[in-house]
Amino acid sequence: MGEINMVESPKVFISYSHQSSEYNKKVLDFSNNFRLKGIDTNIDQYVEAPSEGWPQWMEKQIYDSDYVLVCCSKSYIEKFRENTEGLGISWETSMIYQFIYDNATKNSKIIPVFFDEKDKSFVPRPLKKYTFYNLSKEADYVRLYNRLIGKTTNNKAPLGQLKPLDEKKPKTLFVSTPIDIEKWNQARWRGIMYICIAGDVPVLGLVFKNYQRGLEIFDQWRRLSTDRYIDEFVSFCFITPPFSKKSLIYSSEKYNFGKGYFAYIGPNIKEAENRAQKLGLSKENLVITAINRFRWMDEKSNAQNRKKFQESVKERAECLIVPIALEKLTSGLLSGKDSIRDVINFDGALKMSNISFKNGKDLDENTPEGAVLKSLV
């Protein structure tokens, strides 16, 4: 239940426009009902002829009252706009508006009311932003009465003491990357080579322009490997067509107008999380920083070699991965001067089973592999 804060009957002046005997009686009945309920309302119908004259009488009512109820109607608006006579309605509205402006539009005294929903549109412009009451609705009638006597509908709960905020645990940065940025920048990765021989494990070659730096990259991976398997730290993903129809790939010569694919090399995020948890780090407070590398690979004629490699990987569930020198590849193997074994050092090969193949249109930008899509923006 609310509380009543007023200790005596509030003085309320009712401003309205004389327009018909029926309307005038409605105003009179409304005023009388409020008076019977303890509200000291006043209207011009209670006075025959004030000795000080109507303008001064009205001004006194407006400024001496605790509240002024403005009965909004079409006639009220029109008489003010046309400056016509209606028991001084222009005087009343001018004084009411002046009161609002004098108080820098801060108003709790002047209250718009109306007897019918259709009169809602006739609330004067300066009063539209304040709370109004439809007196044909019992709920509004009660709300207005409670407001005039200072009764609040709901009480505020007692103000309690502030509770200390839960201490947020700092996030732990866990760096997991198979990419040594300096070595990869120097190695200058230039392409992919597939070697698929029936009955043998398929081979994936990474072609480096600076072969010595490429060997150093493989040496680092070998030291991290388990029985030469690098899956715990490295993941490979081939991101192939189709891509989104709106993708820049299909309209750019840089991407061979969509004839090709992305080769992605990055960390094994799932295994990185497992390693962090083994170190006692909470998954909820863990931030993993991952560095990756990816390249767009043109396919000048068709995707036969790539597709054959993909089928072989799925069949054997693994592949070998080797470094290849770009110079030896172009001047030796491709020219026919050297054999595969002359160009590739299979003794230094690493093993891998963590290879995936994904369509570009199905790729999620929020995954590590999604970095390739962000590069297209």
3-state secondary structure of 57: helix
- Residues forming a β-bridge with 357: 238
Check whether residue 228 and residue 140 sit in a common domain.
no
Q: Does residue 157 form part of some domain?
A: no
Q: Does residue 236 form part of some domain?
A: yes
Check whether residue 44 and residue 129 sit in a common domain.
yes
Q: Please tell me the predicted confidence (pLDDT) of residue 47.
A: 92
Q: Please tell me the predicted confidence (pLDDT) of residue 271.
A: 81
Q: Which of 190, 241, 227 is nearest to 318 (CA)?
A: 227
Check whether residue 24 and residue 126 sit in a common domain.
yes
Q: Tell which of 132, 148, 164 closes a domain.
A: 148
Q: Does residue 316 form part of some domain?
A: yes
Check whether residue 109 and residue 191 sit in a common domain.
no
Q: Please tell me the predicted confidence (pLDDT) of residue 98.
A: 77
The span from the CA of 224 to the CA of 231, in Å, is 10
Q: Please tell me the predicted confidence (pLDDT) of residue 377.
A: 60
How far apart, in Å, do the first and last CA atoms of the chain sit? 60
Check whether residue 206 and residue 355 sit in a common domain.
yes
The span from the CA of 293 to the CA of 273, in Å, is 20
Q: Tell which of 148, 181, 215 closes a domain.
A: 148
Check whether residue 140 and residue 179 sit in a common domain.
no
Check whether residue 198 and residue 337 sit in a common domain.
yes
Q: Please tell me the predicted confidence (pLDDT) of residue 87.
A: 45
Count structural domains, the chain: 2
Tokens of 300: 């000048």
**Residue numbers of the domain that contains 226:** 172-374
Q: Does residue 158 form part of some domain?
A: no
Q: What is the largest CA-CA distance in the chain?
A: 125
3-state secondary structure of 299: coil
Measured CA to CA in angstroms, residue 26 lies from 43, 65, 75, 112, 117 at distances of 12, 21, 15, 16, 15
Check whether residue 368 and residue 247 sit in a common domain.
yes
Q: What is the CATH number for 70?
A: 3.40.50.10140
Residuewise pLDDT in 10s, the chain (377 residues): 455 555 578 999 999 999 899 999 999 999 999 999 999 999 999 998 999 888 899 889 998 999 999 999 998 888 766 644 444 456 677 777 777 777 766 788 999 999 999 999 999 888 888 999 999 999 999 999 999 998 877 777 888 888 877 766 666 555 667 888 999 999 999 999 999 988 899 999 999 999 999 999 999 999 988 888 999 889 999 999 898 888 888 888 888 888 999 999 988 888 878 877 777 777 777 677 778 999 999 987 668 889 999 999 999 999 999 999 998 888 877 666 777 777 788 888 999 998 999 999 998 888 888 888 877 76
Q: Does residue 177 form part of some domain?
A: yes
Q: Are strands 203-208 and 319-325 parallel, antiparallel or unpaired?
A: parallel
Contact 273, 239 (CB under 8 A): no
Q: Does residue 161 form part of some domain?
A: no
The span from the CA of 98 to the CA of 118, in Å, is 27
Check whether residue 257 and residue 125 sit in a common domain.
no
Check whether residue 133 and residue 180 sit in a common domain.
no
The answer to whether the Cα torsion of 41, 43, 49, 55 is positive or negative is positive
**Residue 42 CB burial class (10 angstroms; 0-12, 13-18, ≥19):** middle
Check whether residue 201 and residue 268 sit in a common domain.
yes
Q: Please tell me the predicted confidence (pLDDT) of residue 78.
A: 81
* Interacting residues of 266 by C-beta distance below 8 A, sequence separation 6+: 177, 178, 179, 234, 235, 237, 290, 291, 292, 293, 294, 368, 369
Q: Does residue 55 form part of some domain?
A: yes
Torsion angle of C-alpha atoms 186, 257, 260, 179, degrees rounded to 10: 30
Check whether residue 264 and residue 225 sit in a common domain.
yes
Q: Does residue 6 form part of some domain?
A: no
